[in-house]
Structures are given as structure tokens and as C-alpha cells.
Amino acid sequence: MPIRVGLVGYGVGGRLFHSPYIRASEECRLVGIVARSAERVAEIHRDHPGVPVYGTLGELIDAGIDAVVVSTPPHTRRELVLEAVGRGVAVVADKPFAPSAAAGADLVEAAERAGVLLNVFHNRRFDTDIVTARAVLASGELGRITRLDLRCDQDDPETLEGGAEGGLLRDLGSHVVDQALFLMGPARFVTAQLDWIDHPQGRTDAGFVITIEHAGGGHSHVSASKINRLSSRELRLHGEHGSYRSDFSDVQFEALRRGETPIGTRETWGYELEDRWGVLAAGDGVRRIPSLQGDYAAYYDAFARAVVSGGTGPVPAREGVEVLAVLDAARSSAAEHRTVALD
């Protein structure tokens, strides 16, 4: 029996990154969406005929749900998460789920006191390139991994959120840092540089380069931009026996922009085209590595199973706090021109 999932917010996140994948998961049923503006309500009726629209989270919970996804602007998420947790409803909080690691830890503690499952939507662990790279790591062919290079440049200046609560570090930084920790393990030291611009909403970081030294001994170099007319995704794994490199496209997002949907098409969803497959150079050989499947609906499959049967879910909130700790350290490092040690 699928769990009943409600969604709060129907901006880009709710429309493109949550609702299609909730509906694609056979273990979830989208039973309501919270939205207020006439434009958003009209979009919901168009995209999800028959799904009720509510004016508040409280109304949605009263209607009967097992879990709620909070995909509203960052400054609104804390109170919504606390409201849902206080009423015993499992929560998926969009990233960044708190403005700092300390604030995130407060939410984790509230959920643990209430005995409620809280996960963070680091869906890009389920990107096609990351899933494939994770399998390469698991194969052991590269031996001990010494370095990860990860770059995510988007030519999308209009979506850069400005001001003190915006910035690219909290936006794409949440994703690429989580991917680095997912592939390479916990962080010990962080060094960073940020690119700043004058934005109509205030001084804003619009690009970054972060070096992470991991507890396992390797190091990651992650970077992103949105305003420099670059569009690329590059991943490089360096190991004692060779390397793996890929430059996959943003497979799932590009499919959605073409009007495709994962609903009813999961068998073929989320594979990279063969001409963009990654290359493994190890030992005496060089070969293409077939794309594995990237599928954000798998996040919701795993979350639903945790709601029903227990467990931590696909991205426990404490792992979200670890990402926030790196982002906090990156900001301090850039401001103070130093390497920041994490406890």
C-alpha cells in the first residue's frame, strides 16, 4: 500500500523535482499540494488533475497524509518542518534544509524527540553520472581513490537567488558537496574561494571552488557557476590504478524540459546516451563504462520504505547537517583566507 504524500510549494522544485517523481514511485501517492497564488493553483490543476490543493500545511495534514515534502523558499522551511514534525508527519525537506549546520541540528533533534523521520532532498545522489561513478568505485578497479574533481556549471543566471539568504553556495553547493561526501566520505578540512557579485537583492556569491580533505585520505575539488555562460558537468576520479572521467548531461532534468515524464516510463528513464558514456582507464586498458540509471523516484521509493518499515531513509537529516557544516566552513574559509578544520 503506497504512503500518502503531500507537497508544500509548487515552484520549480515542486513542479520539476518533486511531484513527477512522487507520482512515478509506486510506493507513494500524491494526495495534496499546498499553494496559494492563482497561477500556482492553475498549474497544479493542469499538471495533476484531481489532486486537491490546500491553502496551508495544517489543512493538508488534517486531510490525512503519512509524509510531507517541504519545497518552499529556504527562509520558510524551518517552521514548516517543525509544524509537520510536531504533528507526527514524516518529512522530506528541500535543500538547503537550514541556513547553518547548527540550525539543521536543531531540526534533527526536534525530529528525533518526536520520533519522526526527517530526510533531506539531496536527490542528486541519484544523478546518472553519480550512480555510475559510485559503481566504478565499488568495482575496486581504481584501487585507493586519491582525488575527486567535480564541476557543475549552469548557464542560468536568472535562477540565481540573491541576497544574504541566497547565493550559489547554498544552491548548487548543497548538491555538489553532498555528492563529494557521498563518493569520498566525511570531510576533515575545507578550503574555499567564492566569486561575489552585486545583485539587486544584495551582495551574492555566484560561483565557488571548494577543496575538501576527507577522513579517508583523499581530497575533492568541487566547483560551480551560474552567471559565466558555461554549461558543463565534469567528474574525474583519480585512483592508484588509473582514472575514471565523465561529462554526462543533466539527463533527468533535460528529459523533463523536453516534456518527457518518469511517470510510467521508469524502465527507460535516466540513462545517458552512449556517446557520452564515461571512460575508465585502469591497468593496461581503456574502456567505456555503460551508463547506469539515474532515477530520482528511487529516492521516494527508499523514503516510503523507511516510513512504512523503519530505517533512516535515503538521506538522513544528520547527513544533511554534514553538508551544511562543509558549506559553513567554506564561507568561513573564503572570508578568512584559511583552511577550516571540521570537528
User: How confident is residue 55, by pLDDT bands cut at 50, 70 and 90?
Assistant: very high
Q: How far apart (Å, rounded) are the C-alpha atoms in residues 297 and 257?
A: 17
Query: Where exactly are the structural domains of the chain?
Result: 3-121+300-312, 128-293+324-341
Q: Are 179 and 124 in contact (CB under 8 A)?
A: yes
Instruction: Please identify, in words, the CATH class of the domain defined by 3-121+300-312.
Output: alpha beta
pLDDT, average across residues 142-155: 96
Phi, psi for 173 (deg, rounded to 5): -60, -40
Work out the mean pLDDT of the chain and round it to a whole number: 95
Beta bridge partners of 92: 69, 119
The pLDDT of residue 258 is above 90: yes
User: How confident is residue 237, by pLDDT bands cut at 50, 70 and 90?
Assistant: very high
pLDDT, average across residues 122-126: 97
User: How confident is residue 160, by pLDDT bands cut at 50, 70 and 90?
Assistant: confident
Cell 544523478 belongs to: 127
Specify the 3-state DSSP secondary structure of 32. strand
Q: Which tens digits make up the pLDDT trace of 93-114?
A: 999 889 999 999 999 999 999 9
Supply the angle between the helices 128-139 and 172-184 in degrees, to the nearest 10.
Answer: 20
Q: How far apart (Å, rounded) are the C-alpha atoms in residues 164 and 333?
A: 17
The pLDDT of residue 24 is above 90: yes
User: How confident is residue 289, by pLDDT bands cut at 50, 70 and 90?
Assistant: very high
Determine the Cα angle at 239 with ends 188 and 243, to 5°. 125
Q: Are 252 and 18 in contact (CB under 8 A)?
A: no
Q: How far apart (Å, rounded) are the C-alpha atoms in residues 235 and 229?
A: 19
Which cell numbers in the block locate residue 240?
Answer: 592508484
The pLDDT of residue 133 is above 90: yes
Where do the DSSP E strands lie in 154-304?
187-199, 202-214, 219-225, 232-239, 242-246, 278-282, 285-289
**Fold of the domain spanning 128-293+324-341:** Dihydrodipicolinate Reductase; domain 2 (3.30.360)
Q: Are 75 and 165 in contact (CB under 8 A)?
A: yes
pLDDT value at residue 159: 85
Q: Which tens digits make up the pLDDT trace of 62-74?
A: 999 999 999 998 8
Strands 53-54 and 28-34, sheet pairing: parallel
Q: How far apart (Å, rounded) are the C-alpha atoms in residues 327 and 101?
A: 8
pLDDT value at residue 170: 92
Q: How far apart (Å, rounded) are the C-alpha atoms in residues 304 and 314?
A: 10
Q: How far apart (Å, rounded) are the C-alpha atoms in residues 246 and 273?
A: 12
The pLDDT of residue 343 is above 90: no
User: How confident is residue 256, by pLDDT bands cut at 50, 70 and 90?
Assistant: very high
The one-letter amino acid at 52: P
pLDDT value at residue 164: 79
Enter the DSSP assignment of 316: B
The pLDDT of residue 53 is above 90: yes
The pLDDT of residue 165 is above 90: no
